[in-house]
Structure 1
Amino acid sequence: MQEFEEKHVNEMLEMLEKLVNTDSGSTDKAGVDRVGEILCQNYEQIGFVPKVHKSEQYGNSITLRHQDATNPDILIVAHMDTVFPAGTASERPFTIRDGKAYGPGVIDMQASQVMVFYTMKALVEQQISAYKHVEIVLNSDEELGTISSRSLIEEKAKGKKAALVVEPAREDGSVVSSRRGSGVYELHIKGRAAHSGMNPENGINAIEELAHKILAFQSLSDPDNGLHVNVGLIEGGTSVNTIAPSAKASVDVRISTASQGKTIDEQIQAIGQQNVLDGIELTLTGGINRPPMELTDGVQKLVDIVQTKAQALGLNVGHTATGGGSDASFTAAMNVPTIDGLGPVGGKQHSSEEYLIVDSLQERMMLFCNVLQQLSEE
């Protein structure tokens, strides 16, 4: 495997440069589809058969399995979209400086795309049958919350014994063994306008109602148990001398367990449906949109495999929890043992300073190969 890695290292970086220099922001359908075309062309050369799942609004998602695969039981999930708008690739093209690669989406997650492809290429060329045991989902809108591709991921997760999500490793090299779930709610409040000096008694102040709601929402947080509710955006009113006829709040929720999600949803719904001021009208939308990924016995088994294979390569790989969301939440919610953060090492995602540690691309490819080989033999 080491000979393969050394032979193809320049090819890996060339492929990474091509992907990074292709704009693929989540709302840039043409760009995401171009990334998909590049990946499909590469996979077809090593015997993988792509199936394109078309979307009118977002990029097309793609599923892949090798032509010799019959009933693959390992799912690999990797998203093709980035957070950067069209034109960013020409403004900040792929560069390498002092052992780090830079460019839009270089670590989140075009480096992972390269890692997965060259893992499959290595397995095929060395006739290690693990490639027959995998099904790959390349989805198009993870950065927007996996709006169009969630059902595809859930469909492909059915019957799988493991799901491997290749979001980048943490900056210290750790994989992700648990993630908090999340939700977003929006509360619209309708009051009644009136002049604040001439006839304030005729008005119903939507901002006053909003103040009660903010305090009620914020009081639901339970930090000691990994539950956070945050009113992150508010707006309301029309002028300083008008009783506010309308107001709005956007609420972010983070949960650590599925049971928390059910409870917090009921509590938020109750607050959002009960007015404090007479005459107020309330409209609450939203809900929990990403279930949590919990550290189960099945996940711990995957962690143990990763750490054992890492030690054999001379790597020290820890595991950690994180508050951010990913597609791992969807496979985990289907009771498929899931591990995340299996991609290369880097950091500063979603910023102009996003980077990949170049050496980790080969290291993580070798680790991924060995993990897949182990899983395919069980």
Structure 2
Amino acid sequence: MPTKFWENKEADILDLIERLVNIDSGTFYKAGVDQVGNVLASAYQALGFQVAVDQQSERGDHLVIVHPEGQHPDILIIGHMDTVFPVGTAESRPFSRDESYAYGPGIYDMKASLVMTLFAIKSLIEQGDESFKRVKIILNSDEEHGSIYSRNLIEREAASVKYALIVEPSDMTGRLITGRRGGGKFELHVTGKAAHSGEEPEKGRSAIGELAYKIIQLHALTDPSAGVHVNVGVISGGTTPNTIAAHAKASIDVRMETLEQAVELEHKIKHICGAPTIEGTTLVLQGGITRPPMIKTAKSEHLLKNVQEEAMQLGESLTDMKIGSGSDGNLTAAVGVATIDALGPRGGNAHTAEEFLDIESLVPRTRLLANVIKRLSSE
């Protein structure tokens, strides 16, 4: 793709990134996520794409974007519009930049990637390359909370494609991701019986006491040598210090290396939470494994080689790695699609007030995505 085309594109890309960053779009703020979706939907429609809206009541709407002339799109690109930040963050900490980096809530994870994808498609159109017709894009609204509401959509759309390109951001090394641990989220609700802890404690059944037993049992499932981790990260319960707690709740995060571990771990958690230790308390477990492990396969190795060769044409040598966190790449890989993750621009400090985007990586990563689309379309 001629270098001249990319002259001054960095400023255009940053302008749209700034617009998106200055919109609060935390996972649970539907209005903000939908506002981001409307901006991007309009941009794709202006390029001739069709945007199907998968409407949601509890979360922001998901978007599926295809070109009407693309008969059988077999390259799936996935990005998410939600961030981890609460309403008001964009106002208190809006987009800013210096010579090398840009800052703002969700700029790195992953609003810059959303804009990068749009400009990669736009570049193919403006160059007269019809490979963009082979692309299907999913922009979901709940990735930061496990893609619970978009999982079925992703798995359904992935079933008909050959490749999945996940535009999660890359770290400052630029490395790609070909493996991720699996993960799950559970909530355990415990009901006991309230009583005055001084006058009639024998009449009470402590939900907090029951939960304490379960926390110890759940944490005992952790096996670092096998890559299995169980973390009860949030607990709540009770009303006053002198009242036997009638209710308690725990939020549980689990991670594992293999699908077999995922099945076994879920079974053990259900067993632990299936019967109370304190007689007279009851337990209700919700949730499950939200992301199966992303395993590197021969198909993903072939896709990786294609991406690496295109990167070399742009003067960059890219390696790959496996990491502990999950993404929507876990879902596409689990249904057998060749998947490469972390195709987005470089940066760091995701989910913090120090989150930053490496401006210099914007155009190279956009060019890389466009070139990969073109290459895969010729296979």
TM-score (norm 1): 0.92
Structure 1 partner of 2:316:
315
Q: Which amino acid aligns with 1:361?
A: L
Residue of structure 1 equivalent to 2:89: 88
The Cα offsets for residues 311-353 of structure 1, whole Å up to 9 and x where unpaired, read as: 2222132212222222112212211121111100011112222
Aligned mates of 1:61, 1:236 — CA distance in 2: 34
Alpha carbons of 1:309 and 1:208: their partners in 2 closer, same or farther (altered >3 Å)? same
The 3-state SS of whatever aligns with 1:184 is strand
SS at match of 2:217: helix
Aligned-pair CA distance for 1:237: 4.4
TM-score normalised over the length of structure 2: 0.92
How far did 1:73 drift? 0.5
Aligned residue in 1 for 2:225: 224
Deviates more, 1:243-252 or 1:321-330: 243-252
Match of 2:186, as an amino acid?
A: Y
Flag the 1:86–1:246 CA change in 2: closer, same or farther, 3 A.
closer
Partner of 1:128: 129
**Equivalent pair of 2:148/2:290 in contact (CA under 8 Å):** no
Q: Deviations over 1:97-137 (max 9, x none)?
A: 03101122211111111111111111112122321211111
> Within the alignment, does 1:33 sit opposite 2:38 as a pair?
no
**Count, aligned residues:** 378
Return the alpha-carbon distance in structure 1 between the equivalents of residues 12 and 209 of structure 2: 61
Q: Provide the rounded CA distance (Å) in 2 between the counterparts of 1:58 and 1:248.
A: 23
Name the stretch that deviates more: 263-272 or 250-259.
250-259
Q: Compute the displacement of 1:196 (Å).
A: 4.9
- Paired residues for 1:95-174 under 5 Å: 95-174=96-175
SS of 1:273 mapped into structure 2? coil
Inter-partner Cα distance in structure 1 for 2:245 and 2:87? 39
Who is 1:294 aligned against?
A: 295
Cα distance in 1 for partners of 2:358, 2:340 equals 21
> Distance in 1 between the 2:196 and 2:20 partners?
58
- Output the amino acid matched with 2:40: L
In structure 2, the residue matched to 1:346 is 347
Return the alpha-carbon distance in structure 2 between the equivalents of residues 241 and 30 of structure 1: 42
- Cα separation, partners in 2 of 1:283 and 1:47, compared to 1, 3 Å: closer
Higher mean alpha-carbon deviation, 70-79 vs 176-185, is at: 176-185
Q: Give the deviation of 1:238 after TM superposition.
A: 4.7
Cα drift, residue 269 of structure 1? 0.8
With over 3 angstroms needed to count, the CA separation of the structure-2 counterparts of 1:177 and 1:191, relative to structure 1, is same
Aligned partners of 1:240 and 1:40: how far apart in 2?
52
1:183-222, aligned counterparts within 5 Å? Answer: 183-194=184-195, 196=197, 200-222=201-223
Aligned partner of 2:217: which letter? A
Change (3 A) 1:85 1:218: closer
Unaligned 5+ segments in structure 2 are none
Percent same amino acid among aligned pairs? 47
With over 3 angstroms needed to count, the CA separation of the structure-2 counterparts of 1:158 and 1:199, relative to structure 1, is same
Distance 1:203 1:28 in 2: 39
Q: Check conservation: 2:147, 2:290, Cα contact below 8 A.
A: no
Query: What value does the CA root-mean-square deviation take over the aligned residues?
Result: 2.1
Residue 368 (structure 2) aligns with: 367
